[in-house]
Amino acid sequence: MHKPNYISIFLNRKSFSYRIFSLLIFQLIWGNQISAQNQWGIISSNYAGIQSVYINPANIVNQPFDVDVNVVSTGMGINNNSYYLPKANIPQRLMNNNLNIRVGARDTAIYTTDGKYRHSLVRDVKDISYVMGELLVMGPSILINKRNSAFAITTSLRNYVSLTNSNYNATYTFYDGLNMTRFWDKKIDLNSLHVGFLSWYEVGFTKAKVLKENFKYMLKGGASGKLLFGLTAGGFYDRGTEAYYRPNTTMEIRNADFTLAYSLAKDDPDERQAYLPRGYGLGLDVGLVILRKGDAVRKFDYCPNVFGYFERFTKNKWRLGVSLLDFGFIYFNHQTKKTNYQNFSHSWVKQDTLYGLDLVKIERTFTGIYSNLPGANITSTESFMAFLPTCISVQADARLIWGIYMNATWIQRIPYGNTVHARRMNTLAFTPRFESRWLEVSFPVRLIEYQQLAFGAALKVRYFYIGSDRIFEMFGYTKQIWGADFYMGIKFNFNRKIGSGGSEY
């Protein structure tokens, strides 16, 4: 029997969010384990259209087309800094149905039941470890762009999962189990450990307009108001519990003070409730962009005051943007529980029996054992507030020569401390690109969590785009695979004809 990894003990395997990640992320890289949502090769373009709303809502105004329609697009990503796969061609192994991964020291089966080799996950544990995953499925969405204003309606399914601030001892033994004698009697500091996951449907309404303009510069502003329908959420966070590994897979807990929360389809073997909202909330994005106008493109509006046509869209020589993204919350109150555990000490023999249990069963196990301990203070509520993966972002874009641009984008998450929330990856990305109406090619380079480089590539041909921000790892051109990333989409855009007041570019 394969040992689940440490993330799986926090996720209900029956939940909608977990099923999505299992299919598109976990099986892709780590079998049972857990960001392309940003789609770095696409969103920085002057032709990004409605996709640009996810990095700065002000970007949607003064686009080179009147209507942009997203049919369907998706992006997924997974990143970590302590475990990797040896060199492999991931797409080829997926096509051959040969990407079964061994996770952990106790997972000793070398071959599957049908005789296929199981690839081993290798540990390279850092002092502070993280695991982060994202999934975006953007449904039918539309952008209507006028000269000085634009309006967009977006629909999407969004998922985040994060584990941050796991120290060396905890991360190492998560992989190798509690029998590692080198860690016996050593303190495991859980004080900064945070695990969170969040999945929701989103309907967004974005308005952007040109705030000020002269012959050289343009200032744009935009905001998105979002209706949120929470599907699943949960997490674990600690406020100072002391833990020690002891012989016989025993964990000794002293001065317990931690919280476990979930909103999941519990006791639902047919998963009929997995797709139903368990909470509702609101979200907000705001952004500003200033740009230096450059050469005009062939798109005109008729203006009798100037006796002919004037230019309606100009490509920028450079632009600077700043935005606040995913500021908001979802209030969960259906199939929901949040439990605080405080003021007890306990030695749990064979604590690793928790592996393989979903979050609902873990909470029931904890409560059943700890509630009988002297002095234990255990309180539960049937609702909680989950916060979105909020971040601030700064974007800079400059034209080098005609058609060749360089973009730099910085994303810094804003954590919410000891609350239920998922965290976004800190990212610094540089993306050189060639762009035109019909063809775009870009090569994003990302610095993830300010410590790990990832190289990508993206291609857009008219209405279709595809890319990966870890292209070399995915196709086996690096010795180690630390994550996976993939995105693609189909969209259409239109312009008015000359006969109706404009010309198609």
Segment 407-434 mean pLDDT: 93
Q: How far, in Å, CA of 158 to CA of 225, rounded?
A: 16
Q: What is the mean pLDDT of residues 18-46?
A: 49
If you average pLDDT over each of 11-15, 372-376, 466-470, which comes out highest? 466-470
pLDDT band at residue 2, thresholds of 50, 70 and 90? very low
Residue 245 pLDDT: 79
What is the tens place of the pLDDT at every residue in 185-235?
777 777 778 899 999 999 999 999 999 998 899 999 999 999 999 999 999
Q: Tokens in use for 235?
A: 């997490």
When mean pLDDT is compared across 112-121, 162-171, 371-380, the lowest value belongs to 112-121
Structural domains of the chain in order of their starting residue, each with its CATH number? 7-493 (2.40.160)
Position 107 confidence tier, pLDDT thresholds 50, 70, 90 = low
Amino acid letter for position 54: Y
Beta strands in 148-256 (DSSP E): 149-167, 187-189, 194-213, 217-238, 242-246, 250-254
Buried b (16+ CB within 10 A) or exposed e, 455-494: bbbbebeeeebebbbbbebbebebeebbbbbbbbbebebe
Establish how many alpha carbons lie within 13 A of residue 288's alpha carbon, considering only the half-sphere containing its beta carbon. Answer: 5
β 122-123/452-455 pair status:
unpaired
CA angle 67, 70, 72 (to 5 degrees): 170
Q: Is the pLDDT of residue 503 over 60?
A: no
pLDDT at 269: 54
Mean pLDDT on 253-276: 78
Q: Which residue has the higher pLDDT, 396 or 65?
A: 396
Exposed, middle or buried, 323 (CB in 10 Å: 0-12/13-18/19+)?
Answer: buried
The one-letter amino acid at 58? A
- Radius of gyration of the chain from its Cα atoms, rounded to whole angstroms: 25
Q: Is the pLDDT of residue 47 over 80?
A: yes
Please give the torsion angle defined by the CA atoms of residues 140, 146, 151 and 156, in that order, rounded to the nearest 10 degrees: 30
Split at pLDDT 50, 70, 90, the class of 490 is very high
Quote the mean pLDDT of the chain.
80
The SS3 call for residue 426 is coil
Q: What is the mean pLDDT of residues 271-298?
A: 83
Q: What are the pLDDT digits (tens) for 384-403?
A: 999 999 999 999 999 998 88
Tens digits of residue pLDDT in 19-28? 333 333 333 3
Close Cβ partners of 136 (under 8 Å, ≥ 6 residues apart): 36, 37, 54, 73, 74, 75, 76, 156, 157, 158, 159
pLDDT of residue 119: 73
Mark residue 339 as left, alpha or beta (left: phi above 0; alpha: psi -120 to 50; beta: remaining). Answer: beta
What pLDDT sits at residue 375?
Answer: 83
Distances (CA, A) of 412 to 260, 265, 324, 426, 447: 26, 32, 10, 5, 12
Residues whose CB is less than 8 angstroms from the CB of residue 118 and which lie 6 or more positions away in sequence, other chains included: 100, 101, 102, 109, 110, 111, 112
d(CA 361, CA 110): 30
